[in-house]
Amino acid sequence: MPPGAAQSQPTLESKLEALQCHFTWDLDEGDNKLFRLRDKLVDVGTEEGNRWLGHIYNLRGYIQYKLGFTEDAQSFFTKAAEAFCNIREADEGPWLVVNYGNLAWLHHLLGDQGKSQDYLSKVDALMQKYPSPPQHELHAETYAEKAWTLMKFSLDKQLLAVDYFEKAIAMQPEMLEWRTSQVIALVSASRHSTKKGLKDEILEKMRIAKEQDPENLYLSAHYLAKKGERRSKKGKGIDEDEVRELARKILRNPVSSYGGMRAVLSVYRNNLPVDEAIALAEEALENHPDERFLKKCAALCYKWKIIFFRESRPKQSMIERAISLHEEMITLYPDSSLVKKIALANIYAKKDQGTAEQMYQDLLKMVLEPAEKQVIYSSYGRHLFFDCRDPRNSMKYHMKAAEIPKQSYFRENSIKHLKKFKGKGRDRMCGEIEEFLENLPKL
């Protein structure tokens, strides 16, 4: 070992730990969550002009490394640098700080300390040439990328993302995509907020952001969805022509999960006949028959019609189409198909109860993370109640879902079912449920 090597290594590691990049942002998640996130990022697409393309490639590179695909990771980090330079129309700039930090970490973890040191030097050079303002810890570009990355990971990071976007916007108010993403992060965070007046405040922020970024159909669709929620609470209907006009615009645009299709379909579901949502999704799929994201959208619409709109008896042809789409989804999204398998079981319940039950039993035997077990328990509880007419066993599975200490839609839904069942007071199990709810920790 060369003299001084033992002393230099801690210095290199301390420099790496001080970097602002994906490897230091506490993004550790289970493999299943990473696979789901990777699939979402793939569905965004790589259409030219996407202002987030550099950020997308950076995050995909980090995910590929965490999943063990180191060559892919390096390739994505290289694509990220190229995308940033093309979008910013410059060979270098502060937007490369995170990217170079990722590459420094990657080469360090792969054992190439020389290249790691080279990228550390590049980070230092950029930070000296493009320092952050005195009152801010980080450069605006770094705050924005950190914010965008955090908002992709979980709901409990949304408010932190909003704060980081706020700091970035204060330094570079002309960056419209930062304003738009901040509003969308705020919408996500508000879903679990009890603050009075917050929803009206968010709607106004969305309106302003939409006026500033009128070409952003993703934002326009979310704005219509939020406006529809507010109007329905006041007993008013949404402007259906406005919804249909937005849908036509989205159909004309390149396919992307950032294009607004998924959001506008939700507006259709909540404000127009769900059959119109199905027709819209099928039209989009007819225009782009090989786009898996559109197949996913169509499958979702059929799931709404068959599972959630229970007052209508679905035709056999509709059930077969739904089954076909969901089976294709499971093939197209092999690493993130749990929710699709649950939906397929629920659809089969309308055709063949025995097949549906076997599918659920197979799901219950899977080795999964607690959050995924919670999804299955809650979904199976719902299936037992509505499809099997077995309320007692249903409540047992809702209790299994609720006792998993993970805040989620599924936990809340199971608790709601338990409270509703207990409130009727017609079963000897009600006392057990009451005691269970009283002892259930609040998250």
pLDDT the model gives residue 7: 44
pLDDT the model gives residue 18: 96
Q: 69: how many CB neighbours lie within 10 A of its CB?
A: 15
Q: Are residues 321 and 386 in the same domain?
A: no
Handedness of CA 440, 155, 190, 232 (dihedral sign): negative
355 in any annotated domain: yes
Distance CA 382, CA 378 (A): 6
- Asked which of 328, 360, 392 is the last residue of a domain, the reply is 360
In 3D space, the residue among 339, 402, 409 whose CA is nearest the CA of residue 40 turns out to be: 339
Task: Output the DSSP codes for 349-391.
Answer: TTT-HHHHHHHHHHHHTS---HHHHHHHHHHHHHHHHHTS--H
Q: In this structure, what CATH number is given to the domain that contains residue 36?
A: 1.25.40.10
Specify the number of domains making up the chain.
3
pLDDT the model gives residue 196: 53
Q: Are residues 330 and 385 in the same domain?
A: no
The residue count for the chain? 443
Distance CA 366, CA 283 (A): 36
- Asked which of 129, 159, 181 is the last residue of a domain, the reply is 129
Q: Are residues 356 and 371 in the same domain?
A: no
84 in any annotated domain: yes
Q: What range does the domain containing 299 cover?
A: 289-360
CB 186 within 8 A of CB 155: no
111 in any annotated domain: yes
CB 259 within 8 A of CB 241: no
Distance CA 160, CA 166 (A): 10
Q: Are residues 19 and 118 in the same domain?
A: yes
CB-based contacts of 158: which residues, under 8 Å, 6+ apart? 150, 151, 185, 186, 188, 189
Q: Are residues 398 and 335 in the same domain?
A: no
Q: Are residues 44 and 85 in the same domain?
A: yes
pLDDT the model gives residue 240: 92
401 in any annotated domain: yes
pLDDT along the chain (443 residues), means of 10: 47 94 91 92 85 96 96 97 94 97 98 97 97 91 97 86 96 94 89 60 90 92 86 73 96 93 94 94 97 97 89 84 98 95 96 96 95 97 96 97 94 96 90 95 84
